[in-house]
Amino acid sequence: MHVIYLILYWSTPAVIVLATVEALVLWGVRRQYDWRAYLASLADITVRQYVVYVFLAFGLADPLVRWAWTHRIATVPLGSWAALAVLFVGQEFCYYWFHRASHRIRFFWGSHAVHHSSNSFNLAAAYRFGWTSRLIGSSMFFVPLIWLGFRPGPVFITLNLNLLYQFWLHTDWAPRLGPLEYVLNTPSHHRVHHAANPDYLDRNYGGVLIVFDRLFGTFAAERAEMPCRYGLVEPLLSWNPLRIAFFEWLALGRDLWRARTAAAWWQALCAPPARHEQPQDCAAGPVPAE
């Protein structure tokens, strides 16, 4: 456990260094790199780690987390590989639904849109998460694991390791990984997830694993004849960290201000974002797979 804490402690400077190395290499090879997007992502992670997580270290779901642990139906010790395996798979399952809800429910998209706001796909975009995820109660999606008997600490440490794994997936130069593509989330699968092409929207929500996307019908394979266009359906043409952090919240606020009925408020908060008014919605049927 001490090793895991060390990994997580040093993960922030490590990912920044690796993203910088990639930026220098890509700039040297391609003679083009969006340094303004790089700086916007750097501002995002700096404020999140050293301001938000320090001075605003609370969220709407915190009471629910405490309630779930107090009223847990069991206590699961993590002294065996079997228990760790169950925690890993359970966390992946919860993460899948958290990630899917973050795309399909406007309120959660308000925070998650920040991660998709970069029009470049590289390691620097990997840690552009925004500042409001914990504040709005995203932890609620992992409460079932705590209620079942897993301590909150290991649950959220496993989640952080999941997110750390996903760092290396944000590359447009990594090839497909053969048989691993059937089980693991890979750069190829994650390129599809970040693409704004209508056929690619709302696909590949997995963290470490891709199996739940295959199981629940949200998987799509990258297609050579359809290059990914990264960013939002309506691109955000700004490198201002404040605008990046709050552009979708401002849009949601405008829609709530204009709403005149309870149904309109509910629609603004909980319906899929307007960007989802595109062909190939998940409910419309499968898309080409491997």
Rounded to two decimals, what is the model's pTM?
0.92
Residue 284 confidence class, pLDDT cut points 50, 70, 90: very low
CB 65 within 8 A of CB 159: no
In angstroms, the CA 239 to CA 225 distance is 30
Sorted by sequence, the CB contacts under 8 Å of residue 230 that are 6+ apart come out as 118, 119, 120, 121, 172, 191, 194, 195, 196
Tokens 């199996």 correspond to what residue? 211
Residue 48 DSSP label:
I
pLDDT value of residue 2? 80
Burial class of residue 42 in the structure, from the number of CB atoms within 10 Å of its CB (0-12 exposed, 13-18 middle, 19+ buried): middle
pLDDT value of residue 1? 67
Q: What is the pLDDT of residues 147-193, one digit of tens each?
A: 999 999 999 999 999 999 999 999 999 999 999 999 999 999 999 99
In angstroms, the CA 101 to CA 86 distance is 23
Tokens of 214: 């295959």
Q: What is the pLDDT of residues 213-263, one digit of tens each?
A: 999 999 999 999 999 999 999 999 999 999 999 999 999 999 999 999 999
HSE-up of residue 12 (Cα within 13 Å, Cβ side): 15
Handedness of CA 177, 82, 141, 283 (dihedral sign): positive
Tokens 């008997």 correspond to what residue? 149
Burial class of residue 168 in the structure, from the number of CB atoms within 10 Å of its CB (0-12 exposed, 13-18 middle, 19+ buried): middle
In angstroms, the CA 193 to CA 116 distance is 9
Tokens of 198: 């209508």
In angstroms, the CA 243 to CA 250 distance is 9
Q: CA-based diameter of the chain, in Å?
A: 58
Q: Facing residues of 195 across strands?
A: 230
Residue 274 confidence class, pLDDT cut points 50, 70, 90: confident
**Which region holds residue 112: left if phi is over 0, alpha if psi is between -120 and 50, else beta?**
alpha
Residue 283 confidence class, pLDDT cut points 50, 70, 90: very low
In angstroms, the CA 196 to CA 166 distance is 19
Q: What are phi and psi of 184, to 5 degrees?
A: -95, 150
pLDDT value of residue 31? 86
Sorted by sequence, the CB contacts under 8 Å of residue 206 that are 6+ apart come out as 92, 95, 96, 99, 185, 189, 212, 213
Q: What is the pLDDT of residues 6-65, one digit of tens each?
A: 999 999 999 999 999 999 999 999 989 999 999 999 999 999 999 999 999 899 999 999
